[in-house]
Amino acid sequence: MKEQNWEPKIVAFVCNWCTYTGADLAGTSRLKYPTNVKLIRVMCSGGIDPVFILKAFERGADGILVSGCHPNDCHYNAGNFHARRRWTFFHELLDYLGIDKDRLQFSWVSASEGKKFVDVVSKVVNDVKAMGPFKGYEQLNKEFMTEFPDVSGVNNDVIIKEGEAV
Amino acid sequence: MEELRKHAKELLENKTVAAILAYVEAGPQRTKPAIITKPEDVSKMVFNEYCLNNLAVYLTKARIKNLAKQNGTVMKLGIVAKPCDIHAVVALIQESQLKREDVYIIGMNCHGVVKDFGMEFSGETLASKCVPCETHKPLYYDIVLGEEKQTPAVSDEVLAKMQAIEKMTYEERFEYFKKEFDKCIKCYACRAACPLCYCQRCITDKTIPRWIESSPHSRGNFAWNVVRAFHLSGRCIGCGECERACPMDIPLSLLNRRMTETAKEAFAYVSGRSIETPTLVGSYDVKDSDELFM
């Protein structure tokens, strides 16, 4: 029963200038897309460090979407070109380590492509639903919690006090 | 070997170099790295199949760099380097960590090294990094020494293992690497031995926020090993020092090799081969494949 009601957690890292604005357009156009996706806005797809992805998996994400401006449309001229090379490696590496390629997906969505954003998100959600929960990382998390029971439920990663320099 | 000692002595006497990073004897069938600064010490220098260390790792260390700074001028640092070590030197030059004119490369012709100290050199004991090696002669050098000999031909076990892993299902692969990474004790020997891990402050040492958990449990180990492999992708020159340094025998070369193959397949790039070429991940091409993106 629990398995049937399971809904995937999807984290989307989107760039401020294109995909986030595209998502905004999807909203203002009253288009509907699955609510499984949680958007995280970053300034550029080139600024998304692969450790963000790992952290999202550690925090229980079942699938991740990374999206930015189309090639040649980057607000910073070359951010997405640099990202493209890096993701090629990272995607291959995760695949090799046994993380299904569909758990981490990429797209280019421009500010005017509200419809495309809806399609992309729906595709990612459907793909992840078909695969089911991310058992591999769940196991890693479970072991972590058994080994360090005191910190379960405590976010010990990001403790930043107000006004503190990072 | 006499040739090497003679040349090293000349370099030190002429003050061409401030010091030479070299191998010295450390028991039977065993060598260790040394910094030779005095001409009288050159008699200790050796070069044979037991010269396993990649001495390029020392070139970026501040303490070694300071040796070259004498009386207000920067002298050259000499390095005894196998062809694969020279790839590391080239990669460091490509990444602006080193200037070509600051290093004097004593390139050694190489026909392979052994897996570990104390082994008789043969095809069976040939280090796995030497099996697919194509550069037995130095590519960049100030002088080439040593005799040219044939490398024993053996089958590429790392490649075979890599291909076997690729045939597994996702679950099996995850399980396999989880088991391997579980052994990790987070000693960071792989990082210390790597000539291209030269960051003053590694991301795993940063605590606000802490991206990679530093305690040795499976989740943190997984993150560390992924990040280590990723940070070296398209840069690793395949010297295999990380794997040799690992006290827990994690097959790190399986990861590095996969990334090297990706660089070859997707970008036709091999790291550390040309000083003039920009680094792969430090540059981009508008014509790169867009296959990955929806």
Residues B75 and B120 in one domain: yes
Nearest to A157 among B209, B222, B255 (CB): B209
Nearest to A71 among B166, B217, B290 (CB): B290
Q: Do the strands B76-81 and B17-25 form a parallel or antiparallel pair, or are they unpaired?
A: parallel
Residues of B whose CB is below 8 A from A93: 226, 229-230, 233, 255, 258-259, 262
pLDDT at B103: 94
Residue B227 lies inside a defined structural domain of this protein: yes
| A84–B293 CB contact, under 8 Å | yes
B119 in A contact zone (CB under 8 Å): no
**How confident is residue A150, by pLDDT bands cut at 50, 70 and 90?**
low
If one counts every other C-beta atom within 10 angstroms of the C-beta of residue B2, the result is 7
For the cut 70, the answer to whether the pLDDT of residue B286 exceeds it is yes
**In which element (H, E) is residue B79 found?**
strand B76-81
| B208–A136 CB contact, under 8 Å | no
Output the CATH code of domain A10-133.
3.40.50
- pLDDT, tens only, A54-107: 999 988 899 999 999 999 999 999 999 999 999 999 999 999 999 999 999 999
Q: Are B83 and B138 in contact (CB under 8 A)?
A: yes
For the cut 50, the answer to whether the pLDDT of residue B145 exceeds it is yes
For the cut 50, the answer to whether the pLDDT of residue A166 exceeds it is no
Residues B254 and B180 in one domain: yes
Nearest to B286 among A55, A71, A106 (CB): A71
Give residues 188 to 217 of B whose Cβ lies within 8 Å of A.
203, 208-213, 215, 217
Give bridge partners of residue A140 from the DSSP assignment.
none
Residues B175 and B136 in one domain: no
For the cut 60, the answer to whether the pLDDT of residue B234 exceeds it is yes
- Of B292, B265, B267, B261, the closest CA to residue B282 belongs to B267
What's the helix, strand, coil split of chain B in %, to 5? 40, 15, 50
**How confident is residue A51, by pLDDT bands cut at 50, 70 and 90?**
very high
Residues B124 and B169 in one domain: no
Q: Which of B116, B145, B174 is the last residue of a domain?
A: B145
pLDDT at A1: 43
Over range B209-227, report the average pLDDT.
Answer: 89
Over range B273-284, report the average pLDDT.
Answer: 93
pLDDT at A2: 52
**How confident is residue A160, by pLDDT bands cut at 50, 70 and 90?**
very low
| B222–A140 CB contact, under 8 Å | yes
Residue B274 lies inside a defined structural domain of this protein: no
Over range B98-104, report the average pLDDT.
Answer: 93
Residue B293 lies inside a defined structural domain of this protein: no
Residues B68 and B202 in one domain: no
Q: What percent of chain B has pLDDT over 90?
A: 76
Q: Are B50 and B117 in contact (CB under 8 A)?
A: yes
Least confident span in A95-99, B33-37, B64-68: B64-68
Over range B66-93, report the average pLDDT.
Answer: 90
| B203–A158 CB contact, under 8 Å | no
Residue B76 lies inside a defined structural domain of this protein: yes
For the cut 80, the answer to whether the pLDDT of residue B140 exceeds it is yes
Residue B150 lies inside a defined structural domain of this protein: no
Q: Which of B145, B165, B200 is the last residue of a domain?
A: B145
Q: How many domains does chain B have?
A: 2
Tokens of B76: 């050259």
Residue B141 lies inside a defined structural domain of this protein: yes
Least confident span in A146-150, A158-162, B56-60: A158-162
**How confident is residue A161, by pLDDT bands cut at 50, 70 and 90?**
low
**In which element (H, E) is residue B181 found?**
helix B170-182
Which amino acid, B153?
A
Preceding omega of A8 cis (within 30 degrees of 0): no
Over range A111-134, report the average pLDDT.
Answer: 94
Q: Kindly tell me the burial class for residue A107, based on how many C-beta atoms sit within 10 Å of its own C-beta (0-12, 13-18, 19 or more).
A: buried
Over range B3-14, report the average pLDDT.
Answer: 93
Residues of B whose CB is below 8 A from A96: 165-166, 173, 255, 258
Please give the ipTM for the structure prediction: 0.91
For the cut 90, the answer to whether the pLDDT of residue B95 exceeds it is yes
Residues of A whose CB is below 8 A from B289: 88
Interface contacts (A, B; CB < 8 Å):
136
Over range B223-246, report the average pLDDT.
Answer: 94
Q: Are B112 and B126 in contact (CB under 8 A)?
A: yes
pLDDT at A156: 52
Q: Which carries the bigger pLDDT value, residue A149 or residue B150?
A: B150
Tokens of B79: 């390095």
Residue B20 lies inside a defined structural domain of this protein: yes
Residues composing chain A: 166
Cα A166–chain centre separation: 23
B230 in A contact zone (CB under 8 Å): yes
Return d(Cα B293, Cα A108) in angstroms, integer: 6
Q: Are A146 and A104 in contact (CB under 8 A)?
A: no
For the cut 50, the answer to whether the pLDDT of residue B294 exceeds it is yes
Range of the domain at B104: 2-145
Q: Domain ranges in chain A? A: 10-133
Residues B39 and B96 in one domain: yes
Q: What percent of chain A has pLDDT over 70?
A: 86
Across chain B, what does the average pLDDT equal?
92
Return d(Cα A43, Cα A76) in angstroms, integer: 10
For the cut 80, the answer to whether the pLDDT of residue A153 exceeds it is no
Residues of A whose CB is below 8 A from B251: none
Q: What percent of chain B has pLDDT over 70?
A: 100
